[in-house]
Amino acid sequence: MSRRYVAILAILLLPIFAAAQGTPAGTIYGYVLDPDQRPIPGVRITIEDPNTAATRTTSTNQQGVYSVPALRPGPYNLTTEANGFATIHQNGVVLEADQQARLDFTLKVGSTTETITVEGSAPLLNTSDATVSTLIGNQFVTNMPLNGRSFSTLINITPGVVLPQTTFYDQGQFSVNGQRPDANYFTVDGVSANIGTSATSLWQGGAGQLPATDAFGGMSNLASLDALQEFRIQTSSFAPEYGRTPGGQVSVVTKSGTNEFHGTAFEYFRNDALDANNWFADNQGLKKPELRQNDFGGVLGGPILKDKLFFFASYEGLRVRQPQVANTYEPTIATIQSAPSATQPLLNAFPQAEW
């Protein structure tokens, strides 16, 4: 392969590797004990991602503790192996974004050829810190009727979030636990998304105090709903790594490619053929104005090299033609006659009213 093709391939795959490295990572840790609840050192722990066949291996220390950090959110299968004990296969463990999940094992005395398989598990709990957060998954997002296909609407249901009046000095969309609306911090797959700005003000947006919103004020440009895996809103007692701002910490995780091809396609539209005419336009005998809104796109993911390299692509387009009907007031004859002589030529340009 020539250097030119290698360079092109590296440029195309760079966003994939960057996203994988920066994704809000979780950790699975716990104790491995014998039947008498004593710690077992040197137990081999293997964690496998069933979607990509990627594996991580570690061992328990002298206190019987194991820890596997930097895990991407999703399902995992765990295997524990130790001499003199039966092997345990724990399948269907689901790790969430930014989660410190504890999962303990109690091994049974027996041969390593003897295996115990456990399918599914109770939701993993965070017992290592006092972080207060809310997780919203893709299934919940998909089932909600969101205006504008923006997940930002769901942030409002988080405890401690209120919608303040937007001013020039506080242009953020929500306040968390009394903090300023511009004190919230957004990340997408671990990369800062507080880079938003507007055409009228470079102050808060240029300083990275506001999230990158689209022209309608939504956040579909950060992640399309079909590409969103889940997002977590941490409202208090979060880790020092989130110390840049004191408000809410919103971590957005997007989907990724797996060993199976998967994708969706969608289109949401509005059209004047389905609407009645504006009352004021109809009252004046005006034709129904054209209304066109097409929100379309899709996602596609799958393997490039099975068990080794994957891809995931997302596209969403928005085409809008939105007419407006406005009422104007025409100056009366008395108004024109009483106006200064310099402005009367301008007022005479209006159609002459009969009163």
pLDDT at 19: 40
- pLDDT (average), residues 52-68: 95
Structure tokens at 334: 């008395």
Least Cα distance to 255 among 148, 157, 153, 142 occurs for 142
- pLDDT (average), residues 329-340: 84
- 81, 113 Cβ separation under 8 angstroms: no
Does 215 lie in the same domain as 295?
no
Burial class of residue 337 in the structure, from the number of CB atoms within 10 Å of its CB (0-12 exposed, 13-18 middle, 19+ buried): exposed
Q: How many domains does the chain have?
A: 3
pLDDT at 204: 62
pLDDT at 326: 77
Least Cα distance to 249 among 137, 161, 150 occurs for 161
pLDDT level of residue 3 (50, 70, 90 thresholds) = low
Domain of 200 in residue numbering reads as: 132-254
Ramachandran angles phi, psi of 12, nearest 5° = -70, -35
- pLDDT (average), residues 60-82: 94
pTM of the model: 0.76
Does 166 lie in the same domain as 96?
no
Does 33 lie in the same domain as 104?
yes
Is a pLDDT exceeding 70 seen at residue 206?
no
CA dist., res. 198 & res. 250, Å (int): 21
Q: Which of 210, 231, 254 is the last residue of a domain?
A: 254
pLDDT level of residue 56 (50, 70, 90 thresholds) = very high
Is a pLDDT exceeding 70 seen at residue 100?
yes
Whether 37 is covered by a domain: the verdict is yes
Whether 340 is covered by a domain: the verdict is no
More confident residue, 220 or 307: 307
pLDDT level of residue 103 (50, 70, 90 thresholds) = very high
Does 110 lie in the same domain as 21?
yes
- Contacts of 55-59 with CB under 8 Å at 24 or more apart are none
Does 250 lie in the same domain as 268?
no
CATH of the domain at 158: 2.170.130.10
More confident residue, 348 or 312: 312
Does 248 lie in the same domain as 149?
yes
Does 242 lie in the same domain as 270?
no
Q: Which of 59, 86, 119 is the last residue of a domain?
A: 119
CA dist., res. 264 & res. 273, Å (int): 27
Does 189 lie in the same domain as 85?
no
Does 272 lie in the same domain as 212?
no
Least Cα distance to 242 among 184, 158, 160, 182 occurs for 184
- pLDDT (average), residues 149-161: 89
Query: Mean pLDDT, the chain, as a whole number?
Result: 84
pLDDT at 23: 60
What confidence tens digit (pLDDT) does each residue in 209-238 have? 788 777 777 888 889 999 999 999 999 888
CATH of the domain at 51: 2.60.40.10
